[in-house]
Amino acid sequence: MNRILIIGGGASGIAAAISAAKTNPSAQITILDGLDRIGKKILATGNGRCNLTNAQIAPGHYHTQNTSRLTELLADMPAERTLAFFRDLGLYCTEEDGGRIYPYSRQASMVLDVLELALQRHHIQVQYNCKVKSLSVQKKVFTAQTESGQIFHADAVILAAGGRAAPKQGTNGTSYPLALQMGHRYARLYPCLVPLRCGQQLAILKQLKGIRVICRATLLDGKQKLTEELGEVQLTDYGLSGIPALQLSCWMQKPVQEQAYTVRLDLFPDWQHTELHTALQQRIKQYPNDPLADNLLGLIHKKLLFAALETLSLTPVSRPSASLSRQDIDKLVSLLKGWDFPITGVQSWDHAQVTGGGVFLNEIDNRFRSLRQSGLFLAGEILDVVGDCGGYNLHWAWCSGMTAGEAAAEYIMHE
């Protein structure tokens, strides 16, 4: 009773392996990864700088169907726990705006380097190109079989093979059938931190491709406001991107086809409607004979302004400013303060950073032990937890992996 098998060589799986080795140095620990190297997704995080945690870890930065259970789990996961883990590996870190914490080198490759060195120091075996297709247990011994026919036996298994997001980096959803084989259930999976598609506005968006605008983005389900984000939205030829749009995607837990999701952009979030209306009236009064294109210069990006005028049929932009009625100005201000973009879908799993949904949190205990199968542990993205941008998802991966690794090492010592 001394073998631990970890399915998945991502952030949670690596953290689990290192923590298990520290807890039980005599354990025989093996990581099975489906790619030709481990930690590929780590290299892509934080634009290659690896935003590995956040100083402001709190339940409000996460999404799940069981908030109370998540709150219990996060109580044992302060940011300091991740920082202490990496300090022990020799990695220095620094904090930037918004509590985002990066390696001092700002290199994601450095994070993976110290993790791989720790695996070597603890004599943890890594088996590459091992895609596990089945997992079974008999008389307390687990058997994992790969697609190529390899067989691995273990006394404890940590399922940390990720979700469905970014399949090119090795997470293609194969972990969920394994969880089902062990008696678990999971909430509907949906792409998170993913750009939004806006089919009805494509003609306008194609004109605005590449424009970035600081605005308030509000997600509506019908007339009900779900949430809002303030920041830089990027307009694309298919819809909306940028951090605010990605954040909103985490709230779209129901299929888009079943909901009337709309994103409302306030292009002047610091102005009240009446303030903007008065300002535009004064411009027109001061230069009534100037063409609209000149008189409204300096408000927002010219292409965005012209698209707004076109949407309201207030073109051509060469018309005299005085030709705008008070009602026309009011319509323009209303659009600039609340431009609706109906959402027709999201980009594919290839463009998603993380997976929403997953194994229900009430099917694990506080040590990430399965409540369905003794000797099984679950960690990382396979669980029904998804975080905001800013290091929250990697933090969840590290800490859930650490806890599961420690618990698995203790389990095999006492069996």
DSSP-assigned letters across all residues of 166-210: -GGGT-SSTHHHHHHHTT--EEEEEEES--EE-GGGHHHHHHHTT
The answer to whether residues 326 and 287 belong to one domain is yes
Residue 184's pLDDT is 98
Confidence of residue 277 (pLDDT cuts 50, 70, 90): very high
Q: Is residue 170 scored above 90 in pLDDT?
A: no
Q: What is the mean pLDDT of residues 385-398?
A: 97
Summarize the confidence of residues 274-302 as an average pLDDT: 92
Residue 158 placed within a domain: yes
Can you give the length of the chain in residues? 415
Least confident of 17-21, 177-181, 278-282, 391-395: 278-282
Instruction: Show which of 346, 374, 390 is a domain's final residue.
Output: 346
Is the pLDDT reported for residue 280 higher than 90?
Answer: yes
Give me the pLDDT at residue 120, please: 98
Q: What is the pLDDT of residue 45?
A: 87
Backbone angles phi and psi of 261, in degrees to 5: -70, 135
Dist. CA 250–CA 357, nearest whole Å: 10
| 398 touches 14 (CB < 8 A) | no
Flag whether 244 is in a domain: yes
pLDDT at residue 169, rounded to an integer: 85
* pLDDT tens sequence across 233-247: 999 999 999 999 999
Q: Is residue 351 part of a domain?
A: no
Residue 353, classed as helix, strand or coil, is coil
The mean per-residue pLDDT over the stretch 211-225 comes to 95
Q: Is the pLDDT of residue 212 over 90?
A: yes
What integer pLDDT is reported at residue 47 of this predicted model?
84
pLDDT band at 85 (very low <50, low <70, confident <90, very high): very high
Give dist(CA 145, CA 153) in Å, integer. 9
Judged against a pLDDT cut of 90, whether residue 18 lies above it is answered with yes
Token pair belonging to 244: 């605010």
CATH code at position 42: 3.50.50.60
| Same-domain check for residues 261 and 382 | no
Is 226 found in the same domain as 293? yes
Q: What percent of the chain has pLDDT over 90?
A: 89
Task: Output the six-digit token pair for 232.
Answer: 């830089």
DSSP label at residue 38:
S
Euclidean distance between CA atoms 384 and 174, whole angstroms = 15
Distance CA 260, CA 343 (A): 8
Q: What gap in Å lies between CA 186 and CA 384, rounded to an integer?
A: 7
Mean pLDDT across the stretch 393-410?
98
| Residue 14 placed within a domain | yes
Q: State the chain's mean pLDDT as an integer.
A: 95
Question: What is the pLDDT, as a whole number, of residue 149?
Answer: 96
Which one of 346, 372, 395 terminates a domain? Answer: 346
Residues 101 and 220 in one domain: no
Lookup result for tokens 């063409």: 291
Q: Are both 223 and 181 inside the same structural domain?
A: no
> Cβ–Cβ contacts within 10 Å for residue 323, how many?
12
Looking at the structure, tell me whether residues 258 and 286 fall in a common domain. Answer: yes
Answer yes or no: are the C-beta atoms of 189 and 354 closer than 8 Å: no
If asked whether residues 11 and 88 sit together in one domain, one would say yes
320 shares its domain with 383: no
At residue 202, does pLDDT exceed 80?
no
Q: Distance of alpha carbon 301 from its chain centroid, rounded?
A: 29
Percent of the chain with pLDDT over 70: 100
Is residue 333 a part of any domain in this protein?
yes
Pair 365, 385 in one domain: yes
The type of residue at 167 is: P
Nearest to 40 by CA among 156, 162, 170, 153: 170
* Domain termination site, one of 346, 364, 387: 346
Closest CA to 205 of 282, 109, 310, 115: 310
CA distance linking residue 411 with residue 368, whole number of Å: 12
Q: What is the mean pLDDT of residues 320-345?
A: 94
- Asked if the structure places residue 143 within a domain, the reply is yes
Q: What is the mean pLDDT of residues 278-288?
A: 92
User: Taking residues 339-344, what's their average pLDDT?
Assistant: 94
Q: Whole-model pTM?
A: 0.94
Q: Is residue 29 a contact partner of residue 348, using CB atoms and an 8 Å limit?
A: no
Mean pLDDT for 207-217 is 95
Strands (E), 9-57: 28-32, 53-54
Residue type, 162: G
The predicted pLDDT at position 57 comes to 98
Domain range spanning residue 117?
3-188+356-414
Query: What is the structure's pLDDT at 399?
Result: 98
In 10 A of CB 206, how many CB atoms?
Answer: 12
| Cα–Cα distance for residue pair 319/213, rounded to 1 Å | 26
Beta bridge partners, 214, equal 232
For residues 302 and 293, give the distance between their C-alpha atoms in angstroms, rounded to a whole number.
8
Please provide residue 198's backbone torsions phi and psi, each rounded to the nearest 5 degrees.
-130, 80
Q: Helix 392-414 vs helix 11-23: angle between axes, to the nearest 10 degrees?
A: 40
- CA-closest candidate to residue 154, choices 19, 24, 31: 31
Q: Residue 257 pLDDT more than 80? A: no
Asked if the model's pLDDT at residue 10 lies above 90, the reply is yes
What are the structure tokens assigned to 409, written together? Answer: 């090492």
Band of the pLDDT at 204, cuts 50, 70, 90?
confident
Q: How far apart are CA 317 and CA 298, in angstroms?
A: 14
pLDDT at position 279: 93
pLDDT at residue number 172: 85
Total domains in the fold of the chain: 2
pLDDT band at residue 254 under the 50/70/90 scheme: confident
Residues 322 and 406 in one domain: no
pLDDT in tens, 56-74: 999 999 999 999 999 999 9
